[in-house]
Amino acid sequence: MTQPTNHDHITTESGAPVADDQRSQRAGAGGPTLLQDHHLLEKLARFNRERIPERVVHAVGTGAYGYFECTSAEVRRWTKAKLFSEVGKRTEVFVRFSTVAGSKGAADTARDPRGFAVKFYTEDGNWDLTGNNTPIFFLRDGIKFPDFIHSQKYDPHTNRQEPDNVWDFFSHTPEATHQFTWLFGDRGIPASYRHMDGFGSHTFSMVNQAGERFWVKFHLKTDQGIRCLSSAQAQVLGGEEPAYLQKEFYDAVEGGDAPSWTLKLQVMPEAEADRYRINPFDLTKVWPYADYPLIEVGKLVLDRVPENYFAEVEQSAFDPGNFVPGIGPSPDPMLQARLFAYGDAHRYRLGVNHTRLPVNAPRGVPGGAKNYGRDGTMRFDDNGGRRKNYSPNSYGGPAQTGADDDAGWSVSGSVGRHGLIPHRDDDDFSQAGALYRLMREDERGRLIDNIAAGLAQVQRADVVVRSIEHFRRADADFGHRLEQAVRTRRG
């Protein structure tokens, strides 16, 4: 066989050189293939096992590396997090954009919320801000999330997304009216990942050096300006290239056009939460800017795409439970559910050692993660060597810091099944109506057409009536025009 030139030799998984990678061993020129051909069997067996379980949601994604730079000294009033410790301080980041409902291979131009997850590799460990390109969500309690996703995914019988399921669930879920109004509006399909905003969506907490707590909302405002696709444009582009947004993003970054976002905060002193006119922990609502203005604190820049998609994007794992000192959770019920669900999903999909994969490891921490976790599938480092695997111990292993725990806040009441405490102006429809009235007339027309296109396909009349009624309660004109549009489409 001719020896390769200017290339490394192919080897088996054990490192042995492979003499022929084009022909299997056979019993004679016309005979059957031999079981002893180890390279053939190993190659086929590995191929059979290449796919790992896809994400249940956010399966279609794009990733990039870059940095976050703190631009504000004022932010130290609210948090002791080290990435905000001084103006000009830079922290490496990895960001993953994604759609929510589609399976691997689905068009990334679908009308769907976009995941906007940021991993900050700080010196105090990774902080994962697992947000979306919308400031709100469909639900306010995580116990409803599996049912919501089931209604969006493939039907058990038809194996396709069914408008009946989508709208039936919505018709029983009035709190989703605000998000549906957003989703079917112009911003429901971004023209580029570079041209959309990102939001932490949930309410989070910040604690400063004095131990004072603040409730915060995170906003990543695109510096490239907002650009969106119409439904017709998205169908054409997604049909021609299902990975249209991925290609557009990679081409831009690799061409030297590094996109950036300005990080801004809304800050609410802890004492104001109880008396604010809406419940500040309700994920279906925004905090109006008039009440809590945006405050600029930093810049996010993405300037490098991954070398290997599987290693760095498919295996990336974001966990909203990954906080650093100075940043923490809130009583938001959806966030509380995600604190469990995301990490558990990664342990199922990637294994218990997924946090040691290079893209997920805490790069900013000298020496990496230090704890007593051992063993498990795919433990590819020294597994702690001969060091003890329990705490506390007398052998010099890592010990707790003893620092104050800033993750707590006062609670009261009895254990039970509770919804969020309603505040003075809380309801499921007011903010959806305000969003509708904020739109220009041409935007309202497209919103009505987009909703009617799906709702007109629903077979059950009661589902259609209930769904329209939600929008009517948001705004009478909204509901009336939608009813007329559905009737026209149905003939």
- Which residues are the active-site residues? 58, 132
**SS3 state of residue 476:** helix
Between the CA of residue 155 and those of 161, 350, 403, 456, what are the distances in Å? Answer: 6, 26, 50, 18
Phi, psi of 476 (to 5 degrees): -60, -40
Phi, psi of 187 (to 5 degrees): -85, 5
Do residues 281 and 333 make contact, with C-beta atoms less than 8 angstroms apart?
yes
Q: Is the peptide bond before 392 cis (omega within 30 degrees of 0)?
A: yes
First-to-final CA distance of the chain = 71
Tell me the CB-side half-sphere exposure of residue 257, using CA atoms within 13 A.
11
Contact residues for 294 (Cβ-Cβ < 8 A; gap 6+): 219, 221, 264, 265, 266
Residue 341: left if φ>0, alpha if ψ -120 to 50, beta else—which one? Answer: alpha
Do residues 205 and 326 make contact, with C-beta atoms less than 8 angstroms apart?
no
CA 248 to chain centre: 20
Instruction: Name the amino acid, one letter, at 244.
Output: Y
Q: Give the residue carrying structure tokens 């650009």.
A: 227
Do residues 143 and 226 make contact, with C-beta atoms less than 8 angstroms apart?
no
